[in-house]
Amino acid sequence: MPLVRIASPEFDVDIDIKYATADNFTGKPVYRTAGCYLHPEAAESLQKAIALAKPLGLRLLIFDTYRPTEAQWKLWEHTPDPSFLADPAKGSPHSRGVAVDLTLLTPEGQALDMGTAFDAFTPLSHHGRTDISLEAQKNRLLLMGIMTTAGWDFYRNEWWHYQLFHSRNYPLLSDAEAGTGMM
């Protein structure tokens, strides 16, 4: 099944694919070209999240979606930490096209305070933390409410990561199999 390209105007989101830049935990680009793709079922759930955020005056900012299996191996080779990265031997929901890393933006385009940066591999990134500001706690709960209402499951260690339920039921996809040309 081909992946759906996530782009305007079909998807009213902002996109900043971090692994196509040096602005990620590896300090260098992982993807040759930026790509934002999801499995059709995940794309449908993303549209629901967009619709839920809009009346609140909020937009979604996407950091990562489909991640080729080759990229998952590169990330794992850099930081083999199963608390924050899926072991590529088992497969990541990202490499199945059913996960999204994101945050919320104000109407002015400012990211809401979530208490840590994206990909901050620290316990402070876990959901349910009470040792971050009250504003960040509320913002995380707001993001979780939008995403779970739209049909996404959350990963307890990363406030930014959401995936479809039963994500392991979807096949892993290499860059060639997905046809995205990201690697």
CA-to-CA separations, 138 to 55, 80, 85, 175, in angstroms, rounded: 17, 31, 25, 37
Query: What's the rounded Cα separation, in Å, for the pair 142 and 23?
Result: 25
Would residue 158 show up in a list of annotated catalytic residues for this protein?
Answer: yes
Q: Which two tokens stand for residue 91?
A: 């497969």
- Quick one: which H or E segment has residue 92? none
Q: Given 10, 108, 158, 177, which residue is catalytic? A: 158
Closest listed residue to residue 140, CA positions, set 116, 170, 173? 116
Q: Give the three-state DSSP class for 103.
A: strand
Query: What's the rounded Cα separation, in Å, for the pair 19 and 35?
Result: 10
Which positions ≥6 away from 2 have C-beta within 8 Å? 179
Half-sphere exposure of 155 (CA within 13 A, CB side): 25
Amino acid at 63: F
Query: What's the rounded Cα separation, in Å, for the pair 91 and 180?
Result: 18
Catalytic sites, residue numbers: 158
